[in-house]
Chain A
């Protein structure tokens, strides 16, 4: 157990729907990062939050949004889902807002859009 908790582990939904993925960072970590990993693709950075504020944004679609709450857990909202959104979504956390402190990944949420 890495200490980063992601729920749900699996999610199957239909095109056009909206889902919310949840992440609780490791105790003491202030930064949360969201990554998307499609089949046979590398990890694509989506967005980062640090202590409740958006810190960096990567290749995140406008249909996707995220937030980090006062208790530091984060949610990634995916709307108007398309078949191509099927992927593994990983959350990672780190102590500070710099990658040099290292990331700890959660076990991921596997999203299947049918």
Chain B
């Protein structure tokens, strides 16, 4: 099966940098996604890592280490609108070929 762990909640200050960690255990690993989800809304795609290393996209960056079963999402220059849940999702090719989501990290950005 799959096991995905993320911190439940985090708080950070506007303009700061925050790192949201995700550890996973899975067989047939085929990539890791990060999604943003505002309360009551649909998850929206942020990033996709399939190889080790850092992927940078504007204020958001995502890192993957397959050997450690570890990823993080880095958010720079935090804005109030970044307050949301951030979902780590593992793509596994074992059994059902789909995404398995962690419970998400609820980020609150304070002034």
Contact = CB atoms under 8 A, between A and B. Distances in A.
Interface in B69-111: 87, 89, 91, 95-104
Contacts of B45: 102-104
B101 A56 contact: no
Contacts of A102: 33, 45, 48
Given A99-B91, A100-B30, A45 B43 contact: no
A102 to B, nearest CB: 6
Interface of A: 2, 4, 33, 35, 40-45, 48, 55-58, 88, 90, 97-100, 102-108, 110
B43 A99 contact: no
The 4 closest A-B pairs by CB, nearest first: A56-B96, A42-B103, A105-B42, A43-B101
Nearest to B90: A99
Interface of B: 4, 30-31, 33, 40-45, 48, 50, 87, 89, 91, 95-104
A107 B97 contact: no
29 contacts: A2-B44, A33-B99, A40-B103, A42-B87, A42-B104, A43-B87, A44-B101, A48-B98, A56-B97, A56-B98, A57-B96, A58-B96, A88-B40, A97-B97, A98-B97, A99-B31, A99-B33, A99-B91, A99-B97, A99-B98, A100-B48, A100-B50, A103-B45, A103-B99, A105-B43, A105-B44, A106-B42, A107-B41, A108-B40
